[in-house]
Amino acid sequence: MAEFKANDNPELELCASNFLTDIIDEDIAAGFDREIHTRFPPEPNGYLHIGSAKAIFINASIARKYGGKFNLRYDDTNPEKEDTEYVNSILEDLLWLGAEPTGGVFYGSDYFDKCCEYAVRLIKDGKAYVCDLSPDEIREYRGTLTAPGRNSPYRDRSVEENLALFEQMKNGEFEDGSRTLRAKIDMSSGNLNMRDPIIYRICKEHHHRQGDKWAIYPLYDFAHPIQDAIEGITHSLCSLEFENHRPLYDWVINNIDFDEKPKQREFARLNVTYTVMSKRYLRHLVETGAVDGWDDPRMPTLCGLRRRGYTPSSIFKFVKNAGIAKANSLVEIESLEHFIRDELNQTALRRYAVLDPVKVVITNYPEGKVEYFDVSNNPNDENAGTRKIAFTRELYIEREDFMEEPVPKFFRLKPGGEVRLAGAYIIKCGEIVKDDNGSIVEIHAEADLETANNMPADGRKIKGTIHWVSCTVNHRADVMEYDRLFTEPNLMDLPEDTTYNDYLNPESVKVYKDAVMEESLKYAKPGEKFQFIRKGYFCKDTKNVNTFNSIVGLRDTFKKEVGNG
């Protein structure tokens, strides 16, 4: 296990009352006197995503609210897709978010012996049996929502035969899929999960922790309540798709007869526009090369968001604002962008960067002269101080900041027009130099040298201000400008004849090679965040040493609504 240090995330201290805390309050009022104990049980078969952040926040913040404990437990009961890479990444993400597992780090696989012991107990009690039906036959016998199921022909095997067969399953004497162990409950139940569910399967796969010890593995619905009970979990808080599984959860707890019984309660998942939460599909994107790994800044994974420049506090603010409820909803991605933008507006240092440069020559400025102007590091933080920007005869400005045939109300540089170079002089456009193809390669301008960060002496009004970078004193780096990974906002309900692939955005990333930026950015540290003046918020990439990633733009269109977090 890799070693990571937990961040301090003050948002975990601010868990407002919600229907889950109401349940706990009612339990306490009714005499419940155990220490509140929650858990987060991810399967280590991929990286955590923004949806995981909601489950983490709920379980960690509620444990903290009541002075209790919060466990991380890896649900590693399915060895086919699990890997230590994912194990390490999950703990790293939790600690990055500030959700330290104060109750400990556990593995479902460490309870395999106890699960097997309890399965044998159920067999001896006549509550479980070995079934020879194939997976297809089990589905056929199961019935439908409107038709009851049929008993398996193997349902009435004797205890002795079931014990012997289960021992043979455990010893690897049968082929994968040839037999299962099923709970004997009720094939006519209105809840399909209670129609003799499978609790053990044969699977001769190497396990990342247990090696080749086991030829059988418990299913989640059987293993999870056992794990909760053993760890002393008081409130097993999980997403809404497990609501129909709750009767089975309680059946396992009651029929194994634990003295202290955990209580399962469910909340709505976090669904976000333009975002896919399926780890299976996210794995597909990685394996097919559609993205640059699990931490691609376009991915909704926590490691992708971290590489993109999002912060733990902005993510938990987003989760809290989305609310904790039982009704499913679709939350706007603009909400997440609002919270990181709001935070960076206060904390990010300002820098000049020109992504698509065109040269401007100040014809009345001396060749070889370098002049330095003091500019603010952050106008919202008086303690951020100032820095010096080099001004020279030849500068770069953004190509979009010049228009040869300007549209109405275009207040940037245009033929014969004046504009303020941010923090420096006012310049007036003169000659335009083009290449043989008619493309502009150089703009000549004259500076009003009396306006070094001052207003014109004659009182004339200059409406436009643009940023700039010296042609000779600068730093060059690549800039990755990201857009939505998908073109469809609601990916929860797609037409039957389409897949996620049909909505991948072919223009989700734009690369600016050798963008020109002020010299100070040469010394930016990986992960350090900046506002590129007039462009947006960017951070130094943590993998590519000479690359900056876009975090979010400057414009905020999200109307904030207070959620119940």
In CATH, 10-112+220-334 is 1.50.10.20: no
Would you give the end-to-end CA distance of the chain in angstroms? Answer: 32
Residue 2: pLDDT band with limits 50, 70, 90? very low
Q: State residue 130 phi and psi, 5-degree precision.
A: -85, 130
The predicted-structure confidence for 133-161, as pLDDT tens digits, reads as follows 999 999 999 999 999 999 999 999 999 99
SS3 track for 284-300: HHHHCCCCCCCCCCCCC
Segment 63-92 mean pLDDT = 94
269 in active site? yes
Q: Please state, in angstroms and rounded to a whole number, the distance separating the CA atoms of residues 247 and 351.
A: 57
The CATH H-level superfamily of 479-515+523-552 is Ribosomal Protein L25; Chain P (2.40.240.10)
The residue from 43, 243, 332, 371 that is catalytic is: 43
The residue from 150, 265, 269, 283 that is catalytic is: 269
Q: Please state, in angstroms and rounded to a whole number, the distance separating the CA atoms of residues 138 and 198.
A: 9
Three-state SS for 163? helix
Share of the chain above pLDDT 70, in %: 98
Segment 200-206 mean pLDDT = 95
Q: What is the pLDDT of residue 562?
A: 43
Task: Indicate if the pLDDT at residue 563 is higher than 70.
Answer: no
Q: Are 41 and 94 in contact (CB under 8 A)?
A: no
Q: In DSSP terms, which residues pair with 239 in a beta bridge?
A: 267
The residue from 170, 279, 307, 320 that is catalytic is: 279
Q: What is the pLDDT of residue 267?
A: 96
Question: Per this entry, what is the length of the chain?
Answer: 565
Q: Please state, in angstroms and rounded to a whole number, the distance separating the CA atoms of residues 51 and 304.
A: 13
Show Cβ contacts of residue 308 under 8 Å, excluding neighbours closer than 6 positions.
Answer: 297, 298, 482, 539, 549, 550, 551
**Mean pLDDT, rounded, of the chain:** 94
Helix locations, 145-219, DSSP H: 159-170
367 in active site? no
* Global model pTM greater than 0.95: no
Q: What is the pLDDT of residue 80?
A: 85
Task: Indicate if the pLDDT at residue 545 is higher than 70.
Answer: yes
Q: At what angle do helices 84-97 and 312-322 cross, to 10 degrees?
A: 80
**How does strand 330-331 pair with strand 271-272?**
parallel
Q: What is the pLDDT of residue 469?
A: 98
Q: Please state, in angstroms and rounded to a whole number, the distance separating the CA atoms of residues 416 and 404.
A: 10
Residue 560: pLDDT band with limits 50, 70, 90? low
Helix locations, 271-384, DSSP H: 279-287, 302-308, 312-322, 333-347
Q: What is the pLDDT of residue 500?
A: 95
Residue 15: pLDDT band with limits 50, 70, 90? confident
Show Cβ contacts of residue 347 under 8 Å, excluding neighbours closer than 6 positions.
Answer: 378, 381, 529
Domain residues of the chain, as ranges?
A: 10-112+220-334, 123-218, 353-467, 479-515+523-552
Task: Indicate if the pLDDT at residue 30 is higher than 50.
Answer: yes
- 10-112+220-334 and 479-515+523-552 share one fold: no
The CATH H-level superfamily of 353-467 is Ribosomal Protein L25; Chain P (2.40.240.10)
Three-state SS for 533? coil
The predicted-structure confidence for 410-428, as pLDDT tens digits, reads as follows 999 999 999 999 999 999 9
The CATH H-level superfamily of 123-218 is Glutamyl-tRNA Synthetase; Domain 3 (3.90.800.10)
Q: What is the pLDDT of residue 564?
A: 45
Nearest to 469 by CA among 509, 409, 522, 433: 522
